[in-house]
A and B are shown apart, each in its own frame.
Chain A
Amino acid sequence: MLPGFFRSPLRGPWLTSALGTVLLVLIAIVATTGFLSHAAYMPDLPGNQIVPAGRDLPLLTSFGWPTSPSWLYALTQGLHTNVGLVAIPFLLAKLWSVIPRLFAFPPVTSPAQAIERLSIALLVSSAVFELATGVINAQYWYPFEFNFVVAHYYGAIVFVASLVLHVIVKLPVVARAYRERGVLTPLRDGLAGTRPEPDGELVSPDPAEPTISRRGLFAFAGAGAAVLLLGNAGQSIGGPLRKLALFAPRREDFPVNKTAAAAGVTAAMTGPGYALTLVAGGRELALTRDELLALPQRTARLPIACVEGWSTTQEWTGVPLSALAERAGAPGAKQVLVESLQPAGVLRQASLTRDQIAAADSLLALKVNGADLSLDHGYPARIIVPALPGVHNTKWVARMTFA
């Protein structure tokens, strides 16, 4: 590429530093909430593991995910998905600001530069990979052959590690740009006052006349973020805002994550022959739905939030899990493995911790909003636990094994 091909007068160390700073804050939120979500699935418990056992980050397993506040997972996963969308226009602007570096000639001048270019390639690749796979997964579009959870998780580790590396390497450049040009000072210039940065990498040797100011560029990226947020956030917040989520998939008030038909659960399985089996210490106890309804009931208004970022709050009524543990002969149970009537699939079962069984509002729900559960929402009985990732609130519960 000829020198002088890239002629924007906006490019320079300050612009890239400022875009990088905004992006760093956004990515810190997205990465933290993403790893928290991984922890919230409690991969160490039986049936909960999705990424290969023994190949997980040791710090993130054995994490006691809390049950209070009940909206915790709705918040963390709402942030993960929506702030991820907000990051997209800033990532595009950041990559635009550094594109001349891709065509630097000669491409490599030292071992340090060679290894740095490799790490930058990994950084850009994993950044685009993480945002692209996250976005399309939330839209139910799966044009890939890998397992989304596994690839998005290890891709995140590649992304975060290469980002930490990038921040360490570029910190002096950022500090110098802010020291020499001020952190916010260049944003004061309107179009008429917009000049190329005086020196430094990325500054065009043959700058064109500006067509937009630096603050205009930030406003443009910010407007992009606002439009994407507006198009999606309603499915995370719910209520009347849900209809504002113009482009999100979950625009109905009480979405069904997976229908009974899709899960392979039939009316015959949930009919008069249905009984819930409670297992504890080798003893089994079967309870029909009428027997469950005859036990003391509790009602709780709880959100259920999906890893895809949508959530809904409803009023659930059923038997507290702690009462079921007692009934099974395992008061104060350490954990419970909940299995569904659903015949197959990774998420037909999930384990809960002692704290999740003990929480007052953790229910085996039989009703929602005063009416029997519909088949698609888990009739005859489903789990609802405060702050638990959506799919671990097992529907069509067939068997609960306490330990």
Chain B
Amino acid sequence: MMRRYGASPVHLLAHLALLPIVAWALLTVLDFRAASNVVLWLVAAVVLHDLVLLPAYSALDRLAQAATRSAVNYVRVPAGLSLLTLLVFWGTIAGKGEGAYRRVSGLGYEGYVGRWLLLTGALFAVSGALYLIRRR
């Protein structure tokens, strides 16, 4: 029977033990509010990562490799760090959360774009300096 299943009994038992817990949690959250929106977010999480974000940064990386040859890491690393920061702090840098933040705290999001640009400049400056030092 395990030959037909395709893996060990531990594999089967682990799935039979844990998938019902997963199903219970999913059914509970779907039963609470905005079920279709939860499903949309769960599906979009995979699709946007696997079929949009990963191919996009891979394509950018190919471009950087073609443009810089052996010096690719001096572009790849600062660009990667800058874009990671932009992605993770999109809510403050692009001001997406500013409306709600102003409503609860009375304050706005000031200077986030400027600080991100400064961070980006500093990352490339350090990378460029390292490149010059190591090339000599």
Contacts and interface: CB of A to CB of B under 8 A. Distances in A.
Interface of A: 51-52, 55, 85, 88-89, 92, 95-96, 99, 102, 109-113, 115-116, 118-119, 121-122, 124-126, 128-129, 132-133, 135-136, 138-147, 150-151, 154-155, 157-158, 161-162, 164-165, 168-169, 211-212, 216, 220, 223-224, 227-228, 231, 246-249, 252, 255-259, 261-262, 376
Contacts of B109: 249
A257 B96 contact: no
A246 B115 contact: yes
Contact of B88 (A88, A118, A255): A88
B15 A247 contact: no
B80 to A, nearest CB: 7
B43 to A, nearest CB: 7
Given A140-B101, A162-B22, A247-B112, A145 B34 contact: yes
A135 B22 contact: no
A258 B104 contact: yes
Contacts of A111: 4-6
Contacts of A129: 41-42, 45
Interface of B: 4-7, 10-12, 14-15, 18-19, 21-22, 24-26, 28-29, 31-34, 37-38, 41-43, 45-46, 48-50, 54, 65, 72-73, 76-77, 80-81, 84-85, 88-93, 96-98, 100-101, 103-107, 109, 112, 115-116, 119
Contacts of B89: 139, 231, 247
Contacts of B32: 51-52, 146-147, 150-151, 154
A132 B45 contact: yes
Contacts of B119: 227, 231, 246
Contacts of B98: 140
A215 B44 CA distance: 32
A255 B105 contact: yes
B54 A112 contact: no
Contacts of B10: 168
Contacts of A169: 11, 14
20 contacts: A99-B50, A111-B6, A112-B12, A121-B46, A128-B48, A132-B45, A139-B97, A140-B101, A145-B33, A154-B32, A162-B18, A164-B18, A211-B76, A224-B81, A248-B92, A249-B101, A256-B105, A256-B106, A257-B104, A257-B105
A249 B73 contact: no
A88 B12 CA distance: 30
Given A99-B54, A231-B85, A112 B7 contact: yes
B50 A102 contact: yes
Contacts of B50: 95, 99, 102, 124
Contacts of B48: 128
Contact of B14 (A125, A155, A168): A168
User: What 6 A-B pairs have minimum CB-CB distances, sorted nearest first?
Assistant: A110-B6, A139-B91, A112-B7, A140-B97, A112-B6, A141-B97
A323 to B, nearest CB: 32
Nearest to A191: B73
A143 B14 contact: no
Nearest to A263: B104
Most chain A CB atoms below 10 A, which of B81, B88, B109: B88
A108 to B, nearest CB: 10
Nearest to A123: B22
B50 to A, nearest CB: 6
A145 B78 CA distance: 36
A157 B100 CA distance: 28
A99 B7 CA distance: 22
A227 B77 CA distance: 12
Nearest to B91: A139
Given A112-B5, A228-B84, A154 B33 contact: no
B25 A157 contact: yes
B93 A247 contact: yes
Contacts of B21: 157, 161
A111 B5 CA distance: 5
Contact of A125 (B15, B45, B93, B106): B45
B42 A126 contact: yes
A216 B81 CA distance: 14
A378 to B, nearest CB: 14
A264 to B, nearest CB: 12
A211 B42 contact: no
A244 to B, nearest CB: 11
